[in-house]
Amino acid sequence: MPQISQGNKMWLAIGKTILAAVLISFVSWLSGKKTGLAGFITALPLTTLLALAFSHLEWGEL
């Protein structure tokens, strides 16, 4: 199993935070324009999908 260095862990954490912030900002902006679509995006299990993707990226397994 590949190990992630301390510096890469920091960048991974920063990337996760930025991605979450962009997603939250986008849905907030969209809620003012198209409420139904924003609600649909919010209801999607995006958090689970992102967590699985980052887990696979970080640890190489699900």
Element counts in the chain: helices (H) and strands (E): 3, 0
**pTM (predicted TM-score):** 0.62
Query: Which tens digits make up the pLDDT trace of 46-55?
Result: 777 777 887 7
Give phi and psi for 43, each to the nearest 5. Answer: -75, -15
Query: Which tens digits make up the pLDDT trace of 28-44?
Result: 999 999 999 888 888 87
| Segments making up each domain of the chain, as ranges | 6-59
Judge whether 58 and 6 are in contact, CB under 8 Å: no
Judge whether 14 and 25 are in contact, CB under 8 Å: no
Quote the CA–CA distance of 48 and 28 in Å, as a whole number.
19
